[in-house]
Chains A and B, each alone.
Chain A
Amino acid sequence: MDPLLYVLDLIVFIGIFGILALSLNLEFGFAGLANFGKVAFFLIGAYTYALLSQIGVPFYLCLIAGATLSAAFGLLISLPALRLRADYLAIAILTFGEILRLIVKSESWIAGGDWGISVSPAIAISGGSHRVDVLVNIGLVYFCLLICFVIAQLLANSPYGRVMRAVREDEVAAEALGKNRARYKAQVLMLGSAMAGIAGGLYAQYLQYVLPGMFMPMVTFTVWIMVLLGGPANNWGAVLGAVLVTLFDRGTNIAKDYLTLPIDPSNLQYILFGALIILVLLYRPQGLLKESPIKTKALESVKRERSVVKGKGS
Chain B
Amino acid sequence: MAVNWAQVFFNSAITGSLYLIGAVGLTLTYGLSGFPNFAHAEFITLGAYIAYSVAAQFGLGPPLALVVAFLCTGIVGFLCYRGVFQVLAKRGATIIHLMVASIALGFVLRYSIGAAWGWEPLYFATVWPTSSLWSRHDIGSIAVTNLWLWLIFAAVALAVTMHFVLVKTKIGKAIRATSSNPELALASGINIQRVIWITWFLGAGLAAIAGVFRGADTRIWPMTGWDMILPMFAVVILGGIGNFYGAIAAAFIVGLAENVGVVALTAMGLSSTYRIGIAFLILIITLILKPQGLAMLFRRG
Question: Does chain B have a CB within 8 A of A231?
Answer: no
Question: Does chain A have a CB within 8 A of B2?
Answer: no
In the complex, what residues of A have CB within 8 A of residue B36's CB? 87, 90-91
Which residue of B96, B276, B279 is within 8 Å of A86 (Cβ)?
A: B96
* B95 with A285: CB separation less than 8 A: no
Minimum CB–CB distance from A27 to chain B (whole Å) comes to 11
Q: How far is the CA of A282 from the CA of B86 in the complex (A)?
A: 11
* A278 with B101: CB separation less than 8 A: yes
In the complex, what residues of B have CB within 8 A of residue A125's CB? none
In the complex, what residues of B have CB within 8 A of residue A285's CB? 91, 93, 97
In the complex, what residues of A have CB within 8 A of residue B132's CB? none
Please encode chain B, from 1 to 37, with 1 for each CB lying within 8 Å of some chain A CB and 0 for all others: 0000000000000000000000000000000000110
> Which of A32, A80, A263, A264 lies at the interface centre, i.e. has the most chain B CB atoms within 10 A of its CB?
A80
- The DSSP consensus for interface residues of chain B is helix
In the complex, what residues of A have CB within 8 A of residue B91's CB? 282, 285
In the complex, what residues of A have CB within 8 A of residue B143's CB? none
Question: Does chain B have a CB within 8 A of A129?
Answer: no
Size class of the B contact interface (CB-based, 8 Å): 35 or more
Chain A residue at smallest Cβ distance from B106: A274
Question: Does chain A have a CB within 8 A of B165?
Answer: no
Question: Does chain B have a CB within 8 A of A59?
Answer: no
In the complex, what residues of B have CB within 8 A of residue A263's CB? 115
* B97 with A85: CB separation less than 8 A: no
Contacts A85-B95, A90-B99, A228-B100 given: A282-B87 contact, CB under 8 Å? yes
Minimum CB–CB distance from A85 to chain B (whole Å) comes to 7
Question: Does chain A have a CB within 8 A of B71?
Answer: no
In the complex, what residues of B have CB within 8 A of residue A221's CB? 100, 103-104, 107
Q: How far is the CA of A94 from the CA of B283 in the complex (A)?
A: 12
Which residue of A102, A264, A268 is within 8 Å of B277 (Cβ)?
A: A102
Q: How far is the CA of A34 from the CA of B103 in the complex (A)?
A: 12
Chain A residue at smallest Cβ distance from B275: A102
Q: How far is the CA of A87 from the CA of B26 in the complex (A)?
A: 14
Q: How far is the CA of A34 from the CA of B38 in the complex (A)?
A: 14
Question: Does chain B have a CB within 8 A of A36?
Answer: yes
* A267 with B114: CB separation less than 8 A: yes
Please encode chain A, from 1 to 38, with 1 for each CB lying within 8 Å of some chain B CB and 0 for all others: 00000000000000000000000000010001010100
Which residue of B94, B237, B277 is within 8 Å of A91 (Cβ)?
A: B237
Question: Does chain A have a CB within 8 A of B291?
Answer: yes
Please encode chain B, from 247 to 286, with 1 for each CB lying within 8 Å of some chain A CB and 0 for all others: 0000000000000000000000001011011011001100
Chain A residue at smallest Cβ distance from B84: A278
Q: How far is the CA of A98 from the CA of B94 in the complex (A)?
A: 25
Chain A residue at smallest Cβ distance from B114: A267
* A95 with B111: CB separation less than 8 A: no
Question: Does chain A have a CB within 8 A of B233?
Answer: yes
Question: Does chain B have a CB within 8 A of A273?
Answer: yes
In the complex, what residues of A have CB within 8 A of residue B279's CB? 95
Q: How far is the CA of A90 from the CA of B35 in the complex (A)?
A: 11
In the complex, what residues of B have CB within 8 A of residue A267's CB? 111-112, 114-115
* B100 with A281: CB separation less than 8 A: yes
Q: How far is the CA of A87 from the CA of B276 in the complex (A)?
A: 19
Minimum CB–CB distance from A128 to chain B (whole Å) comes to 40
Minimum CB–CB distance from B268 to chain A (whole Å) comes to 13
* B104 with A278: CB separation less than 8 A: yes
In the complex, what residues of A have CB within 8 A of residue B276's CB? 95, 98-99, 102
Q: Which of A77-108 contact B (CB under 8 A)?
A: 80-81, 84-88, 90-92, 94-96, 98-99, 102-103, 105-107
Minimum CB–CB distance from B34 to chain A (whole Å) comes to 9
Question: Does chain A have a CB within 8 A of B108?
Answer: yes
Which residue of B114, B230, B287 is within 8 Å of A80 (Cβ)?
A: B287
Chain B residue at smallest Cβ distance from A96: B280
Given contacts A271-B115, A282-B84, A285-B93, 12 further A-B contacts (CB under 8 A): A34-B95, A36-B103, A95-B276, A98-B276, A105-B273, A221-B107, A224-B100, A228-B100, A271-B107, A271-B112, A277-B104, A281-B101
12 A–B contact pairs at CB < 8 A?
A84-B287, A86-B99, A95-B276, A95-B280, A102-B276, A218-B107, A228-B100, A270-B108, A270-B111, A271-B112, A274-B107, A278-B105
Instruction: Sort A-B residue pairs by CB-CB distance and give the 8 closest, nearest first.
Output: A274-B107, A277-B104, A274-B108, A270-B111, A106-B271, A267-B115, A274-B104, A263-B115
Chain B residues with CB under 8 Å of chain A are: 35-36, 84, 87-88, 91, 93-97, 99-101, 103-108, 110-112, 114-115, 230, 233, 237, 271, 273-274, 276-277, 279-280, 283-284, 287-288, 291
Chain A residues with CB under 8 Å of chain B are: 28, 32, 34, 36, 80-81, 84-88, 90-92, 94-96, 98-99, 102-103, 105-107, 218, 221, 224, 228, 263-264, 267-268, 270-271, 273-278, 281-282, 285
